[in-house]
Structure 1
Amino acid sequence: MEYLEFEQPIKELMDQYQACALVGEESGVDVKLACSQIETKIAEKKQEIYGNLTPWQTVQLSRHPDRPYTLDFIQGIADKGSFLELHGDRSFADDKAMVGGLATIDGNSVMLIGTQKGRTTKERQQRRFGMPNPEGYRKALRLMKLAEKFQIPVVTFLDTPGAYPGLEAEERGQGEAIARNIFEMVQLKTPILTYVIGEGASGGALGIGVGNKVFMLQYTWYSVIAPESCSSILWRNWDHKEDAAGALKLTPKDMLKNKIIDGIIDEPLGGAQYNPSEAYMNVKHSILREIQILKSKSVKELVHERQEKFIQMGEWKG
């Protein structure tokens, strides 16, 4: 387990606990009481740290290297062996930063789509750190249209620092691809559920984020721009990224208060990396619950409610 800078007090206690357990194992001395006391301190320190996170610390947790990614969630949520990944946009290429395919969740057919980061250096390069090219968004749209044809609910997972900003992406119509997805998603004649499972940045996230219901996991963020980018625009450097994170109101609590999202999914204390299975189950229960609710609505209601949801976000009274 890797520890972020503000998690160092927890790491120190964990090291003490492991040393205590090792002494007991090697010497045969009963150290259960001492280890138990350290465990209590660890629990208290976690409550203290994770119960008082700053917006910037929340951003850091969303990027934790041990945090589960889209494919991890898919494998943890879908029925065993049911996920069939589909590739390509039928126009240019298969974008590895965008993954998707058909699966069943407790027997319910769904189309699962999401941005995917990499674990190893090679995989990070292949997936461009979860930043899709235009063909990624076009692949996602192809899968959504396939789901619409067979009246299968769509579930999207957002975990991206933004769309890929490279020259080749712009040459192939990055802006048009994202705009087309938004245009098509507000009219899609099947239920759409969206979950922010890590970073939800800019149009890169919104390109697959137009859902009837939008949820954020507890230690994630969702914003029009990343704090570092905001800081570089306003202050010409990254030194004020913490100030930017606070000003952007990007935490789940802020998003819920501002009626941008519909709910917050609980995570294990400190993040999904501590207990991925618990995080998967929480998301799975939400998906099954919401699918049943949305399936009871007519196509006209689904489309109208989705459109109104996003139209209302632009209302402002001076």
Structure 2
Amino acid sequence: MRSRPALALILVGGIAQIGIAEMSAVRAAPAPAPATEAPARPAAAPVVLANHRAVYDLSLGSSGGTRAVDSARGRIALEFKGDACQGYTMQTRQVTVLESAETGSRTSDLRNTTFEGGDGHEFRFRTASATNGTSSPTVDGNATSEGDAFKVRLKEPKRDQFGEAGPVLFPSLHMRRLIEAARTGETTLAAKVFDGSDDGRKVYDTLAVIGRPSTGPTQAAGSERDRPLREGALASVQRWPVTLSYFTQGKGERTPIYTLSFDLYDNGVSGALKLDYGDFAIVGDLTRLDLDKGPDKPCRP
């Protein structure tokens, strides 16, 4: 299995970015229109994202094909806080160990900090990563997105800037749009998304497929999986199964870089996590969830 560059992706429920050092192609699938973002949809009530701390333990879900891995383990720890008035901050650390008979053991360690303005127009990001103990250049920058104007200014690893046609969504706004779409019964949402991952230069086309809502204890495979969601305050919160595919930008039918499936809860927390890279898949078991007490009234910027 040949090495691929580290790539961060959105863990939509917690807005986390996950670094994976080994990537594989997945099945070809229809890609979303690159320049069109679905408009915001009315919701019965404002989307309020839960301030929380979460820990996901990672393990190998399946493996096969030319770039299969023999085992996978790791952990994601994240803290998310903020609101639509003050903006949203997130701190994440994720460590993944992949074992392969072909390439041996590979450990990736990712630390990420982001801030997103409550209106979704401003985004700051900083990522430090290492592979097998060797540090990669830090990625540090900020981005703005207003209508059709999208710009990124990088401070590290070297000063640079670029822009492209919008609209482009940042992670928190993308998640709020997903919840709005799910609440109103939409089954798909296509959007261009920027999360500062990889080298800070990637804008992805995304396509989300949203399933039917449900409530009650999660039915995630494995009797012990996602225990905080089975027994905690979220056991009665509405959720939707979501499959979210990420594509490099382009036109026509393309192969997604990876596919993320999860249960999306109405407050933005996620469970039943699965990251599918085609030749192997990694599952995430939510082992700890600390929810902060919510505000008495939703923030109205």
Query: Does 1 or 2 have the higher relative contact order (CA < 8 Å, sep 6+)?
Result: 2
- The verdict on a shared fold, with TM-score over 0.5 as the criterion, is no
Q: Which of the pair is proportionally richer in strand?
A: 2
| TM-score in terms of structure 1 length | 0.27
Q: Which structure has the larger Rg over C-alpha atoms?
A: 1
| TM-score in terms of structure 2 length | 0.28
